[in-house]
Amino acid sequence: MKLIANIYLSLFITFICTNLNANTLSEYSNTSEFSTMQRVRIDFESPNGFVRPLLLAFTSDDSATDGVDYGYDGANFDQFPDDLFWMIEDNTYVIQGVGSYVDTKQYPLGLFLTNSGTIKISLNSLENFNEEIDVYVFDNLENTYTRINESNFVLDVTNGDYINRFFITFSNPNATVNNEISNGALSLEEYNNEALNSITYLSNSNQLVIKSNSIISNINIYSITGQKINQINNIYSKEVKIPLQLNYKGFAIVKVSNQETQHSKTIVLK
């Protein structure tokens, strides 16, 4: 029998109580902002059957950020052998409050396993969205996007700590390519021959080298949380070398647009 962590209520109380003192608690909980906050509820099932609920909440007025926000983020105080958390500034959280919903953003997870085995990540519910949104688990190691709206992300994992490997995101940059291939518009070989991009980051020289079989129009570089950190327009070449002088280190997403398609790759800036 699965061991279910019934902590939704405590998470809710933590979220409220850390945000306001006792004098304003009832006033805030009755506000329209709180009642209409968009929420994504995620469940993680560990190899031993323990279920950890996680909450991601969007504030339409951007009153929260992707960093640590007092009153919006709920820190983890548990010590279970196998667990999954939101990673915010290198610390673990069970609740993350952020700004308004943007489908290109990615929110990092931290997976900590004492026991090897099968893990599952599933979508529990969506709240206060006008229409259903896509929710994906991005595996940065395998460069795969698994939509969890109707089926779970399932993976056999050996014990250890996994930081900057798994992310929750809301768009799949590979979807256009996959649709073309599955619909028979292009075979995989034809697609590779037509529009393959080579995106390489040279850490020694701090250069980004991009090669394409078609004309590159622009390049955008985003932080893993979706913030644009660099943009190069009007390239109009099939090959480009870009020296990077950015005040940013860590995982970044490079998106390359050419005349017909868009490609992306996650790199580590050093």
Domain that holds residue 44: 8-169
Residue 177 lies in a domain: no
In a domain, 149, yes or no: yes
Burial of residue 183, with CB atoms counted within 10 A of its CB: 0-12 exposed, 13-18 middle, 19 or more buried: exposed
Q: Which CATH number belongs to the domain containing residue 221 in this structure?
A: 2.60.40.3080
Clarify whether residues 39 and 138 are in a common domain.
yes
pLDDT in tens, the chain (270 residues): 444 443 343 344 344 333 433 332 233 344 555 567 999 999 999 999 999 999 999 999 999 999 999 999 999 999 899 999 999 999 999 999 999 999 989 999 999 999 999 999 999 999 999 999 999 999 988 888 999 999 999 999 999 999 889 999 999 887 654 554 455 554 444 444 444 557 888 877 888 888 887 788 889 898 876 788 888 888 878 888 888 888 888 888 888 887 667 777 888 887
Determine the pLDDT at residue 260. Answer: 65
54 CB contacts (<8 Å, ≥6 apart)? 41, 42, 43, 44, 84, 85, 86, 94, 95, 96
Residue 29: predicted pLDDT? 40
> How far, in Å, CA of 265 to CA of 197, rounded?
10
Return the structure tokens found at 55. 């909450």
Q: Hey, how many other C-beta atoms are within 10 angstroms of the C-beta on 193? A: 11
Number of structural domains (the chain) is 2
Residues 249 and 132 in one domain: no
Please report, for residues 30, 60, 81, 96, 254, the alpha-carbon distance to residue 21 in angstroms, rounded to integers and kept in the order given: 15, 23, 33, 20, 43
Same-domain check for residues 15 and 120 = yes
> Does residue 1 sit within a domain?
no
183 in a structural domain: no
Tell me: do 212 and 98 sit in the same domain. Answer: no
Structure tokens at 54: 């996680």
Backbone angles phi, psi at 28, to 5 degrees: -70, -40
In this structure, is residue 228 part of a structural domain? yes
Q: Terminus-to-terminus CA distance in the chain, angstroms?
A: 46
How far apart are alpha carbons 72 and 98 in whole angstroms? Answer: 8
- For the CA atoms of 157, 163, 166, 171, what is the dihedral angle to 10 degrees? -170
97 within a domain of the structure (yes/no): yes
If asked whether residues 123 and 59 sit together in one domain, one would say yes
Q: How far apart are CA 160 and CA 90, in angstroms?
A: 16
**How far is 22 from 196, CA to CA, in rounded Å?**
58
Domain assignment present for 207: yes
Q: Do both 162 and 120 map to the same domain?
A: yes
Do residues 161 and 209 share a domain? no
pLDDT of residue 142: 81
Give the span between the Cα atoms of 178 and 136, in whole angstroms.
15
Helix (H) or strand (E) holding 163: strand 160-169
Q: In the numeric block, which tokens belong to residue 18?
A: 């850390």
Pair 223, 261 in one domain: yes
Q: Which amino acid makes up residue 136?
A: Y
Helix axes 188-195, 175-182, angle to 10 degrees: 130
> Within this chain, do residues 231 and 138 fall inside the same structural domain, yes or no?
no
144 shares its domain with 232: no
Same domain, 211 and 265: yes
Q: Are 106 and 120 in contact (CB under 8 A)?
A: no
- 76/165 same-domain check: yes
Q: Which position has the token pair 């701090």?
A: 206
Give the predicted TM-score (pTM) of the model. Answer: 0.60
pLDDT of residue 250: 82
Query: What is the maximum span of the chain, computed from C-alpha positions, in angstroms?
Result: 65
Please, where are the H alpha helices in the chain?
8-17, 25-29, 32-35, 175-182, 188-195
Residue 197: its pLDDT value, please?
59
